Amino acid sequence: MLERVRAALTALPPAEQRVARLLLADPRAFAGLPVTELARQAQVSKPTVVRFCRSVGYGGLADFKLKLAGSVSEGVPFVHRSVSESDSTGEMVVKVVDNAVAALLKYRNAAGAQAFGRAIDALADAARQGRRIEFYGVGNSGIVAQDAQHKFFRLGVHTAACSDGHVQVMSATMLRSGDCAVVVSNSGRSRDLIDTADIARRKGATLIVIGASDSPLARMALAANQILLPADHGEDSDRYSPMVSRLLHLVAIDVLATGVALRLGSAKLRPVLQEIKRTLRARRYVET
């Protein structure tokens, strides 16, 4: 809800902008205040408060506050609180975890079901036809690509993960129509991945990009009528290794793997997965 309000802020009339800023300053207080007090603090009329709620897509003040109350009750901070050197260990733990939880909830609300549906259909079709599914990533994203390969090969599909730029180019060159190339990138600006994605697309493979929506790689996917699964989270990657964005990428991969498993059907997959579990169980030490 708050992201929707922020996005609409500049398009609202000046009076409604004051209501929006009051909301963004303290969402919890906004949810509990009567319309008279909201109007007084925003220095607007009571009808303006109601018009603001309708301008951002809700039925009125009651509908807006009901949904807002449900949102704030999740207990997640609305603005990321940066960790500082003066924080205690307990405060640091809370801030880091809250940041991750807030990002995941935002991703849940923003994730496009239609784009995920297209990606799952393409991957499931490739699996049924015995086509190749290749996962590409470099650096931190290469770790996500390896996790994706680990999830998908258990479904009985032909899949591989490549994190070396030269191997990626060779792999993409061998793709054909019906194959899928899943490219994971936090920045969407890696030259190796952009070149690999372009080769895969020109070879006729379905290109699925997981990463920042405002990036060269994402724009390539959209321009070529391929599939983009945006995963946006502001992290200063120049100062430290991105972590929350990797969590979002892993969640996206998990959604894809779950969707493909459902498309392929449990009757086919269950015996294979049960046999894998039995095999792994024999590899574990048992306490005596």
> Which CATH number is 2-72 given?
1.10.10.10
Of 16-25, 105-114, 197-206, the least confident: 105-114
Q: Strand (E) positions, 16-157?
A: 132-136
Amino acid letter, 204: G
Nearest one of 171, 128, 69 to 261, comparing CA atoms: 128
Distance CA 226, CA 209 (A): 8
Give the pLDDT confidence of 198-251 residue by residue, as tens digits: 999 999 999 999 998 889 999 999 888 899 999 887 655 544 556 888 999 999
Distance CA 259, CA 267 (A): 15
Which residue is it, tokens 């951002």?
Answer: 56
Give the pLDDT confidence of 50-95 residue by residue, as tens digits: 999 998 888 888 888 888 876 665 554 444 456 777 778 888 888 7
Distance CA 203, CA 100 (A): 37
Domain boundaries 113-279, CATH class? alpha beta
pLDDT of residue 133: 97
